[in-house]
Homo-oligomer: A and B are copies of this chain.
Amino acid sequence: MRQKKKSDLLTEVELEFMNELWALGEGTVRDVLDQLPEGRNLAYTSAATILRILEQKEFVTSRKDGKRHVFVPMLAKDAYQTRSLKDLSMKLFDDTPASLVARLVDDADLSEEALGQIRALVDRRLKNDTG
């Protein structure tokens, strides 16, 4: 039996780190640490630990560059976005993507512009499928 994986999802801090790595493409512990927002104040060794864990969980690989490790995502952000949406849809939207979108477009905060963009996206996808 393989490793016991509860959900294939990143924890909060893991996601924070993956976001930086996705933005950078790849990077060392130092690179990621420097990328974190002002006032995050995380010890270097903590950052190193997180990246080590991400490697254990196979979300990133590393290669050696001199004495440093350069970490590279093994999973594209796109793929993880899809995975997260599936998970959320499953757990909270009865596995029905339309109801997820329903909630999203019901949100009063949503701008007219965002709505227009969303419709354009859906239209384009429908055309590509049928056309």
Query: How many interface residues does chain A have, given as a range?
Result: 35 or more
Number of copies: 2
Q: Quick check: B81 and A103 within 8 Å, CB to CB?
A: yes
B103 lies within 8 A of A85 (CB): yes
Most buried by B among A15, A116, A122: A122
Of the candidate stretches A36-44, A46-54, A60-68, A123-131, the one touching chain B is A123-131
A 98-127 binary contact with B (CB < 8 Å = 1; else 0): 101111111100101011111101110110
Q: Tell me, in angstroms, the Cα distance from A31 to B118 when the chains sit together.
A: 40
Chain A interface residues toward B at CB < 8 A: 6-7, 12, 15, 19, 77-78, 80-82, 84-86, 88, 91-93, 96-98, 100-107, 110, 112, 114-119, 121-123, 125-126, 129-130
List 9 A-B pairs, minimum CB-CB distance, nearest first. Answer: A98-B117, A105-B125, A81-B103, A119-B122, A101-B118, A102-B121, A98-B114, A97-B114, A98-B118
